[in-house]
């Protein structure tokens, strides 16, 4: 059942599914948007080829030590932008701290993201059911920040089919999930225009992950 929690009565934090937390109006998005376009000036938004020969339906770019990439060889994280041949733009400290603070407030301590994927949605775009499973470890949570047009986030649970939860996300909302729900299937329904906010014409989603497992030196 769809659940729209957008109201002045929304709690600051709510567990909307086991180990999935909504932080309502957690961040001012305008400064984030300015930084996104600075990142895109260095590593432009683009659609990437998938292993099946298609292209991603959503434009994307990355910042941080590692960026999510896709091509005929598969899905993975890479230290360099395949479009420019250069390292991805550095992750701004404000981004890193935002992810860390959101994770901490949701009960996930010591989250140090090393990958930041930025998706750019146009009206009519959607994201099908999938898992985030290209990372080197699954102990760390995922932190997802919404900017711009509202979107209906779908939680399918442990299997790809059968929606267990739908949640309307608005600009400034942050979603955090981990633990036993780290590998849930999830997606985003088709982005629609917002008649109440006609000035909004697009949506951005910033997703923070721990892409590479840290190797501790033995003493």
Does 56 reside within a domain?
yes
Give the domain extent around 168.
Answer: 2-209
d(C-alpha 141, C-alpha 19), whole Å: 10
Distance CA 142, CA 113 (A): 9
What local confidence, expressed as pLDDT, does residue 8 receive?
Answer: 55
CATH number at residue 126: 2.60.120.590
What does the pLDDT read at residue 84?
97
Confidence check: pLDDT of 5 > 50: no
The residue-averaged pLDDT of 58-87 equals 97
Q: What is the pLDDT of residues 34-54, one digit of tens each?
A: 999 999 999 999 999 999 999
Higher pLDDT, 1 or 185: 185
Is residue 98 within 8 Å of residue 92, measured between CB atoms? no
Local confidence band at 88 (pLDDT 50, 70, 90 cut-offs): very high
Rounded to the nearest integer, the mean pLDDT of the chain is 94
Each residue of 102-135: pLDDT tens digit? 999 999 999 999 999 999 999 999 999 999 999 9
The count of domains in the chain is: 1
Q: What are the tens digits of pLDDT across the range 168-202? A: 999 999 999 999 999 999 999 999 999 999 999 99
Q: Is residue 97 part of a domain?
A: yes
To 10 degrees, what angle do helices 29-42 and 93-105 make?
Answer: 130
Flag whether pLDDT at 217 surpasses 90: no
- Does residue 219 form part of some domain? no
Average pLDDT over residues 10-16: 96
Asked if the structure places residue 217 within a domain, the reply is no
Asked whether the predicted pLDDT for residue 55 surpasses 50, the reply is: yes
Tell me whether residue 154 is in a domain: yes
Quick check: is 35 in a domain?
A: yes
State the DSSP H helix or E strand holding residue 33, giving kind and residue range, or none if neither.
helix 29-42
Q: Is residue 218 part of a domain?
A: no
Q: Partners of 143 in the beta sheet?
A: 176, 208
Tell me if 134 is assigned to some domain: yes
């Amino acid at each position: 059942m769809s659940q729209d929690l957008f109201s002045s009565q929304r709690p600051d934090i709510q567990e909307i599914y086991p180990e999935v937390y909504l932080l309502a109006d957690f961040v001012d998005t305008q400064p984030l948007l300015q930084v996104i376009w600075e990142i895109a000036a260095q590593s432009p938004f683009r659609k990437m080829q998938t292993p099946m020969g298609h292209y991603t339906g959503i434009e994307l770019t990355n910042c941080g030590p590692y960026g999510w990439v896709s091509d005929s060889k598969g899905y993975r994280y890479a230290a360099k932008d395949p479009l420019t041949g250069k390292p991805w733009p550095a992750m701004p400290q404000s981004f890193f701290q935002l992810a860390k603070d959101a994770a901490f407030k949701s009960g996930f301590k010591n989250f140090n993201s090393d990958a930041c994927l930025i998706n750019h949605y146009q009206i009519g775009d959607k994201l099908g059911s999938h898992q985030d499973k290209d990372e080197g470890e699954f102990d760390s949570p995922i932190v997802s920040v919404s900017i711009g047009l509202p979107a209906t986030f779908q939680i399918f649970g442990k299997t790809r089919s059968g929606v267990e939860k739908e949640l309307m996300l608005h600009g400034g909302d942050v979603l955090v999930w981990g633990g036993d729900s780290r590998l849930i299937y999830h997606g985003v329904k088709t982005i629609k225009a917002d008649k109440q906010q006609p000035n909004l014409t697009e949506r951005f989603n910033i997703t923070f992950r721990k892409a590479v497992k840290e190797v501790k030196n033995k003493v």
